Structure 1
């Protein structure tokens, strides 16, 4: 087999990556330090106050009735009923908190009077599959059941996640479909982690370079699935790319970088939604490595990706995105 030639990075992104000194490969030994780093940074309440938002923490029943926490985030002056958004954070299934990625959904709260529910799902390897996706599904059900009290229009309920959160959002959406659970208006999947099998070309190309490379991906999936990883004993809700039937899904926004491990599995997922008669908008950002938005927020490709996502959400909430067949 010929060597795998990695795709080039966008020049602006490459420069930002070089200055960030982020290691391309995450090891299992790095998980504790990554969790400490994720828990630090700017105060969430400080960010919310600057944006005119407020949060309220609620303890709910997660998988098997165990208690988990969700945060309800809305404008301080929220009135009436706005769209509801279940936000699922990234972190490779092994790290991250419910406050990660709030800057991506905050503009929708301000613009549309949306109410965001963000979930503290439990992390692998301490809580392997199905804990994370079942915690997220429990949060979705709680959100739908309490929509009126939260100021949410139950007919405009979205789910959103990035990276591992994108994979969990896709898995939660499949659970909602198959269990005839809450009806979703749309799903926003940002560079989602959806395939444990590691067989694609992009999964081989991104090895020792970029962000969240092949080795990191193996660590994340092994933590979630253990010895089942790559076997036939893996649920479609844990690894949505394994689903043979992608019919009956809500309109989907899905994006990925051309220079990241997840590229080919994401493209395939969008294609199979179309094959099933579904509605999907796919963007493959040229030269983008995993998580480039966070590392290079001012880059031209980042601004384009944010604008495209916001445009799709705007069209969805205004009823201008095609619905899925059937």
Structure 2
């Protein structure tokens, strides 16, 4: 049964426009290279005014041992003085799409609203680079960020992870690796509607089939590409992690009309059971990334206000 009737009417408008322009949504484009190009063109067409309060620069930094270097984009408040909180930012895209440039507006917003130095990482994508390449790139960038905190103007005791969708899953996986390898230390993590379970067994993973934004068929395809024929471990699919103790305090939000709804709620409950302070929000009427597609909607404004408030509190 379709769940489209449950979508908040205000955030439904851009979704309807997308489905008109691209029947079936992004996953209707079978070729991943063509799909990436379409998504990039769509984001590039959105006019985002420059934020005079934020500067950014790209830097090439060491990747995982024996692997290629990676690029990070560093955002700073223009008036920054002294050590600021740091947000290590991991973009979304289902492990198969997305880049730093596509989430430039979000990283800029966090820098401005939270007053933090934001370091956004460009990681390798599947299917060309299956697990563990993406998460190892993310961890390498985090290690570099922590090691260069003083140079970057970051207070190393106030470092948080942020990521949406695949970026949320990678944020949790990066936190697991940091815990298991003895650092860097993390104050907080904010995985937004994280992609964390390759098994596709929850009720919501069966419900969301025709929204046009990250439906069941697309999620199964992305996991297949990301795993590259191998079994998932906890660093690929954090829902499989047996021990969640020792992870940083967390904020998770997800839409009620999002395929990831049930896996995210279950994970938040497990974090709490493991003694990890966790804030969870489930937004009625919200589909996957609705606050990005309908940024001016009342639902989207409420969603962003909760996130920035939580980051300010956690990094104070």
Matched residue, 2:227: 225
Q: What's the offset of the Cα at 1:235?
A: 1.3
Identify the match of residue 117 of structure 2 among 115, 118, 131.
Answer: 115
Q: What's the offset of the Cα at 1:84?
A: 0.8
Matched residue, 2:54: 53
Q: What's the offset of the Cα at 1:27?
A: 5.3
Matched residue, 1:323: none
Q: What's the offset of the Cα at 1:210?
A: 4.1
Distance change in 2, residues 1:10/1:113 (3 Å): closer
Q: Is 2:3 aligned against 1:6?
A: yes
- Number of paired residues? 310
Q: Which runs of 5+ in 2 are unaligned?
A: none
| Aligned 8 A contact 1:210 1:289 in 2 | no
Aligned partner of residue 256 in structure 1, secondary structure: strand
Matched residue, 2:311: 313
Distance (Å, rounded) in 2 between the aligned partners of 1:38 and 1:209: 17
Q: TM-score, normalised by structure 2?
A: 0.92
Q: What's the offset of the Cα at 1:67?
A: 1.2
Aligned partner of residue 29 in structure 1, secondary structure: coil
CA RMSD of aligned residues (A): 2.1
Matched residue, 2:199: 197
Matched residue, 1:324: none
Matched residue, 1:90: 92
Identify the match of residue 103 of structure 1 among 102, 105, 125.
Answer: 105
Q: Is 2:247 aligned against 1:249?
A: yes
Distance change in 2, residues 1:48/1:157 (3 Å): farther
Distance (Å, rounded) in 1 between the aligned partners of 2:120 and 2:38: 19
Matched residue, 1:321: none
Matched residue, 1:274: 272
Q: What's the offset of the Cα at 1:42?
A: 4.4
Aligned partner of residue 265 in structure 1, secondary structure: helix
Q: Is 2:169 aligned against 1:167?
A: yes
| Aligned 8 A contact 2:27 2:35 in 1 | no
Q: What's the offset of the Cα at 1:77?
A: 3.4
Aligned partner of residue 171 in structure 2, secondary structure: helix
Distance (Å, rounded) in 2 between the aligned partners of 1:119 and 1:294: 19
Distance change in 2, residues 1:34/1:43 (3 Å): same
Matched residue, 1:148: 150
1:205-253 Cα deviation digits (max 9, x unpaired): 011234110011011111100223xxxx311011001111111111101
| Aligned 8 A contact 1:90 1:100 in 2 | no
Q: Which runs of 5+ in 1 are unaligned?
A: 319-326
| Aligned 8 A contact 1:57 1:72 in 2 | yes
| Aligned 8 A contact 1:20 1:295 in 2 | no
Distance (Å, rounded) in 1 between the aligned partners of 2:150 and 2:93: 31
